[in-house]
A and B are shown apart, each in its own frame.
Chain A
Amino acid sequence: MKTVLTVDDSRTMRDMLMMALKDAGYHVIQAEDGVHGLETLKAHGADVVITDINMPRMDGFGFIEGMRADPDYRGTPVLVLTTESDAAKKQRARDAGATGWIVKPFDPVKLVDAVRRVAA
């Protein structure tokens, strides 16, 4: 079973991701911000990461850069979860090393499609 790490400061959003992903057969672990995300990744590892952008302590960009700077997680796919669908944010996430993105509010089918597209 593949493990998905979801990083989001909103409990509601984490719960929604959890429900959609569990239904699709993924094991889900959660973190509340970028710092916590990196800690969790280091402690448990993950096959795919889904992260929010706006978070306290460390935002999604910082988190992705942190992942990409670590040889262990350089190759782990990251999907950025954000309501901000405009080109600037998306491009900035890509520049930071994001593998793909999911636009909030997400459709569970599209979410699982996106995860499958990046997860071996």
Chain B
Amino acid sequence: MTEDPFEAIKATFFQECEELLADLEAGLLALENGEGDDETINAVFRAVHSVKGGAGAFGMEALVRFAHVFETLMDELRAGRKPCDDATIKTLLRASDVLNDHVAAARGAGAPVDEARSAGLVAELEALTHGDAAPAASAAAPEADEDEFGFKPVQFDPMDLAPAAAPATSGGGDWRIVFQPNAALYAKANDAGLLLRELSRLGEATVEIDASGVPMLDVLEPEEGCLSWTIRLPGAVDEAAIREVFEFVDGDCDLAILRDEAEAPPVEFVAAPVAAPAPDLDITALLAAAQAQVQAPAEPAAPAPEPAPVIAAPAAEAKAPPAAPETAANAPVAQAPVTIRVDLDRVDRLINLVGELVIQQAVLAQRVSETAMIRATGVGQGLEDLELLTREIQDSVMAIRAQPVKSVFQRMPRLVREVAQMTGKQVRLVTEGEATEVDKTVVERLAEPITHMLRNAIDHGLEKPDKRVAAGKSAEGQVRLAALHRSGRIVIEISDDGAGINRERVLGIAVEKGLVEPDTQLSDEQIDNLIFMPGFSTAETISDVSGRGVGMDVVKRSIQSLGGRISITSKPGEGSTFTMSLPLTLAVLDGMVVSSAEQTLVAPLAAIVESLTPRAEDIHLVGGHTPVIRFRDEFVPLVDVAATLGFGIGPEPASTGVALIVEAEGGAKAALLVDAIQGQRQVVIKSLETNYQAIDGVAAATILGDGRVALILDIDALVSNTRRSVRKPDLKLAS
């Protein structure tokens, strides 16, 4: 939190910009899909307008200039003076990308704006605004005039707020101000008394009141103006300052500002139009009407036809929403969800505390169970209730940090546009399940794998337009990005309607790279999954789009490091679907608790394929010393966990031990030999690096029900250590 309130507001502004830009893009995409209406155009206008407004206040000139051009075109569109056609929307989408860049640049968070691109879009936007098809009206009545450019950075200095009544030059005799308010002045809640007070702040004022205009009581209209004042001010007072006092009532009063030395000309007051009082209306009815329907544009209050006081003017009646009583009855007030903003640190602290509470509760339960108090005293029931309550608190607290995947999904349309442009393909992105919630830490880490998979889907999955047409498909390919919850995990699906995996080619590459033996018989599914093998993708097979040196093996690995899984299904000619599933939070892990050499350890469940009790005949020694175990049709290395971690010697494999068959990065399997399995359990992940440092073979720690620390095994490191290729553990932790 910054101390400076101005900086704090600036931070708010950028935060708000993110939301506005997201709304902006969502609106434009809705328009592109033909789902938008006038209100969508309005919302887009408002988003650009608000970005501009805030940017102006902070003196972000480049951003203001770009937003202004953007806004001007949006204003034309919402007024219906320019058509909102496909070409325009495409330009607006690109303009929103550049607006994003401008905001990032103003924030100091992004690369400098590509000036050429920005200028190009300004030209495009202006061409659309002032295009040939412009009806005469647009030239005649530009709604947003250039005056708006006169922004000035706001300097908040409390000292500035002291009254600034500095008389300028003395320019002659005293001022004589004759002021007669009309009814309209009062109708707009202006107050003649306050204006007189403001005048008296400018200098020593004398005020005379003329009540001769007050009519007889029987015709007195309370809101009618019938008094007039004459105010005298020293000649040193600036005329502009006097006029400023009357700025808001210009037209609602008769005003003469005169120098006294000049002979006062006879002041002639013209009878002013009398505004009729509005009919009494209940706000509740009005609210209901407003919520039931978009507020009809207000009509200017027409002056009443007669100068005499009237009871109720037709113009005023016309303004009242006609169906107010009905809608009040039929439309319940739509409540927007009430939200508060909380520092993430506070939430994290709460989550940590609840984590400790869960542990303490488990410790307590275990201690009590050791003392045989349970049956005698009803303590057991109390403990059970406490456990339920604790779990509920934990779930509720975790829900605070849950966020919809929308924030990640929203970044994808731009990526898709850019990749489509680079690859010369036509792509339509369809997203589903944006509201699916997952822990904030997971949301943040979804972006990278989704980005890679989308690039891959467009670059490798979709065909070029001519090929698609030749195959009898539409020239425009479709990529679908969907999120859903399934059995306590979040599932992300990315599917394309492209050509599907070319299995012959994939197998060919795999054989060529020595990943599989030439005579291996593989199922279709096995061939499809070859693309996840390390070394499958190389610089040759990756274009610069999906490229950046990242193959699907890296995507798979990063998903696995989050405790996730990924798979692919494909149908030739119809397309492919990548499915990845991830835990809903990175703060907890589904683990298998095992014991090894008197230590309690946790193996991530996501990596475990199967557990089995090895039989002597399944174990073989390769080269006389490296033990392997037969698992289904393959031999996998047998890893003595206790020995590998230096805790001692593990069990005799064939007699007492248990083997966990695990799958590490790249699909390499191993059998982890431990003494016994204690059971499955969800554990809270605690980083070792917070207070110490990373340890090879250990991914993290956790605290078990007995209050002791247990280590979480780093499966990838254990397996790769066995293969004598030391790799850094890559499980990054949430806490």
Cβ of A108 and Cβ of B161 under 8 Å apart?
A: yes
**Which residue among B57, B189, B283, B290 has the maximum number of chain A CB atoms within 10 Å of its CB?**
B189
- Chain B residues within 8 Å of A119, by CB: 194
Does A104 belong to the interface (CB within 8 Å)? Answer: yes
Cβ of B290 and Cβ of A19 under 8 Å apart?
A: no
Cβ of A69 and Cβ of B156 under 8 Å apart?
A: no
Q: Name the distance in Å between B282's Cβ and chain A's nearest Cβ.
A: 7
Give the interface size bracket for A toward B. Answer: 35 or more
From A24, A86, A101, give the contact of B143 (CB < 8 A). A86
Q: Name the distance in Å between B91's Cβ and chain A's nearest Cβ.
A: 22
- Chain A residues within 8 Å of B16, by CB: 10-12
Q: Name the distance in Å between B249's Cβ and chain A's nearest Cβ.
A: 8
B33-50 CB contact bits vs A (8 Å, 1 = yes)? 000000000110110011
Which stretch of B120-128, B145-153, B510-518 is in the interface?
A: B145-153
Cβ of A100 and Cβ of B190 under 8 Å apart?
A: yes
Q: B residues 1-42 with Cβ under 8 Å of A? A: 5-6, 8-9, 12-13, 15-16, 42
- Chain A residues within 8 Å of B50, by CB: 9-10, 12-13
Q: Name the distance in Å between B644's Cβ and chain A's nearest Cβ.
A: 55
From A57, A69, A107, give the contact of B154 (CB < 8 A). A107
Q: Name the distance in Å between A27's Cβ and chain B's nearest Cβ.
A: 16
Cβ of A83 and Cβ of B281 under 8 Å apart?
A: no
From B152, B153, B188, B286, give the contact of A69 (CB < 8 A). B286
Q: B residues 395-426 with Cβ under 8 Å of A? A: none
Which stretch of B293-301, B446-454, B491-499, B723-731 is in the interface?
A: B293-301
Complex CA–CA separation, A106 to B152 (angstroms): 8
A25-47 CB contact bits vs B (8 Å, 1 = yes)? 00000000011001101100000
Q: Name the distance in Å between B526's Cβ and chain A's nearest Cβ.
A: 53
- Chain B residues within 8 Å of A6, by CB: none
Complex CA–CA separation, A86 to B280 (angstroms): 31
Cβ of A105 and Cβ of B56 under 8 Å apart?
A: yes
B235-267 CB contact bits vs A (8 Å, 1 = yes)? 000000000110110010000000000000000
Look across to chain B and name the residue whose beta carbon is closest to the beta carbon of A36.
B336
Q: How many A-B residue pairs have CB under 8 A?
A: 189
Look across to chain A and name the residue whose beta carbon is closest to the beta carbon of B10.
A12
Q: A residues 71-119 with Cβ under 8 Å of B? A: 71-78, 83-86, 88-89, 91-92, 94-101, 104-109, 112-114, 116-119
Cβ of A69 and Cβ of B46 under 8 Å apart?
A: no
Known contacts A66-B290, A85-B147, A108-B160; A76 and B189 CB within 8 A of each other? yes
Complex CA–CA separation, A74 to B186 (angstroms): 10
Known contacts A55-B46, A59-B295; A97 and B160 CB within 8 A of each other? no
Complex CA–CA separation, A31 to B433 (angstroms): 31
Complex CA–CA separation, A15 to B7 (angstroms): 11
Known contacts A74-B189, A83-B56; A105 and B152 CB within 8 A of each other? yes
**Which residue among A39, A58, A74, A83 has the maximum number of chain B CB atoms within 10 Å of its CB?**
A83
From A12, A38, A72, A94, give the contact of B287 (CB < 8 A). A38
Known contacts A86-B145, A118-B248; A57 and B158 CB within 8 A of each other? no
- Chain B residues within 8 Å of A23, by CB: 156, 158, 161
Cβ of B290 and Cβ of A118 under 8 Å apart?
A: no
From B43, B57, B248, give the contact of A105 (CB < 8 A). B57
- Chain A residues within 8 Å of B147, by CB: 85-86
Cβ of A77 and Cβ of B190 under 8 Å apart?
A: yes
- Chain A residues within 8 Å of B277, by CB: 74
Complex CA–CA separation, A120 to B57 (angstroms): 29
- Chain B residues within 8 Å of A84, by CB: 143-144, 148
Cβ of A117 and Cβ of B12 under 8 Å apart?
A: no
- Chain B residues within 8 Å of A113, by CB: 244
Does B686 belong to the interface (CB within 8 Å)? Answer: no
Q: B residues 633-660 with Cβ under 8 Å of A? A: none
Complex CA–CA separation, A73 to B145 (angstroms): 32
From B194, B280, B320, give the contact of A71 (CB < 8 A). B280
From B43, B144, B160, B283, give the contact of A38 (CB < 8 A). B283
Cβ of A104 and Cβ of B188 under 8 Å apart?
A: no
Q: Name the distance in Å between B441's Cβ and chain A's nearest Cβ.
A: 25
Cβ of A11 and Cβ of B191 under 8 Å apart?
A: no
Q: Name the distance in Å between A30's Cβ and chain B's nearest Cβ.
A: 13
Does B141 belong to the interface (CB within 8 Å)? Answer: yes
- Chain A residues within 8 Å of B164, by CB: 109
Does B221 belong to the interface (CB within 8 Å)? Answer: no
Look across to chain A and name the residue whose beta carbon is closest to the beta carbon of B301.
A95
Cβ of A99 and Cβ of B190 under 8 Å apart?
A: yes
Complex CA–CA separation, A101 to B45 (angstroms): 21
- Chain B residues within 8 Å of A105, by CB: 53, 56-57, 151-154
Complex CA–CA separation, A104 to B193 (angstroms): 27
29 contacts between A and B (CB under 8 A): A9-B50, A12-B9, A16-B9, A19-B5, A20-B161, A34-B295, A35-B287, A38-B283, A38-B290, A42-B284, A54-B46, A66-B286, A71-B280, A74-B187, A78-B188, A84-B143, A85-B148, A86-B144, A89-B143, A95-B298, A97-B187, A105-B151, A108-B161, A109-B160, A116-B198, A117-B198, A117-B245, A118-B194, A119-B194
Binding site for A on B (CB under 8 A): 5-6, 8-9, 12-13, 15-16, 42-43, 45-46, 49-50, 52-54, 56-57, 141, 143-145, 147-148, 151-154, 156, 158, 160-161, 164, 187-191, 193-195, 198, 244-245, 247-248, 251, 277-284, 286-287, 290-291, 295, 297-298, 300-301, 319-320
The 10 closest A-B pairs by CB, nearest first: A100-B248, A62-B295, A69-B281, A12-B13, A105-B57, A95-B300, A12-B54, A77-B189, A70-B283, A105-B56
Contacts A13-B57, A98-B188 aside, 5 further interface pairs with beta carbons under 8 A come to A42-B287, A56-B43, A61-B295, A85-B145, A116-B194
